[in-house]
């Protein structure tokens, strides 16, 4: 069984990714077990930031790594918060702080179309990054709903179910979400590489 570092400190994200990769013969170890500091997300795209995070974990451990970068793009806000989703309300902002800022900016706005975007990256030492992407389209609710998930889940309306992402079960969310799409595609691309190692 191959050990792969999960290049994230976000507990909710780590749980989701570990669940989505259950079908692979790998052991996912969070970067916190190696005392790896979070990478500086200096990229201007989700792809750039996913690769930066993976390279940081590989450099610190010498092991293969999986990373993702994801965020929410709201049409009425010209794609914001985008790559700044996790720190939209400022450095160290909580999920609630970010949601509050988003809802204030959308106050009085009727067009609330939005999409979650995710780019997942697998990087083995000495190899080129393997990338996969996913998108989940929906709308921003006017108030929080549900207690599940993390990030913007309480205000993201899944159009197919009519429920907030935070109201979906973990399995329902993984079946629809941007991260679920990206990680399933990445896992399929990783299988032949893992078989060869």
Residues in the chain: 197
Active site residues: 69
Comparing CA positions, the residue from 165, 150, 162 lying closest to residue 15 is: 150
Helix (H), strand (E) at residue 132: strand 130-140
Helix (H/G/I), strand (E/B), else coil: 67: strand
Nearest to 171 by CA among 22, 69, 19: 19
Handedness of CA 89, 118, 55, 171 (dihedral sign): positive
Selection from 139, 179, 188 nearest residue 14 by Cα: 179
User: How would you class 192 by CB atoms within 10 Å of its CB: exposed for 0-12, middle for 13-18, buried for 19 or more?
Assistant: exposed
Pinpoint the alpha helices (H) of 94-153: 95-105
d(CA 133, CA 178): 8
Half-sphere exposure of 134 (CA within 13 A, CB side): 21
């Amino acid at each position: 069984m191959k050990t792969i570092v999960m290049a994230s400190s976000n507990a909710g994200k780590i749980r989701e990714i570990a669940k989505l990769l259950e079908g692979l013969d790998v052991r996912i170890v969070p970067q916190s077990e190696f005392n790896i500091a979070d990478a500086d997300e200096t990229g201007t795209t989700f792809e750039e930031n996913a690769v930066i995070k993976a390279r940081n974990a590989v450099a610190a451990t010498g092991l293969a790594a999986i990373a993702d970068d994801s965020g929410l793009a709201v049409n009425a806000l010209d794609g914001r918060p985008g790559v700044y989703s996790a720190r939209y309300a400022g450095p160290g902002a909580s999920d609630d702080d970010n949601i509050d800022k988003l809802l204030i900016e959308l106050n009085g706005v009727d067009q609330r179309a939005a999409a979650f975007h995710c780019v997942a990256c697998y990087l083995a030492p000495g190899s080129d990054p393997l990338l996969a992407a996913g998108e989940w389209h929906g709308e921003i609710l006017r108030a929080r709903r549900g207690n599940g998930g993390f990030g913007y889940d309480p205000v993201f309306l899944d159009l197919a179910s009519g429920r907030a992402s935070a109201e979906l079960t973990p399995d329902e969310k993984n079946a629809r979400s941007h991260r679920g799409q990206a990680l399933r595609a990445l896992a399929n691309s990783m299988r032949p590489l893992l078989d060869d190692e």
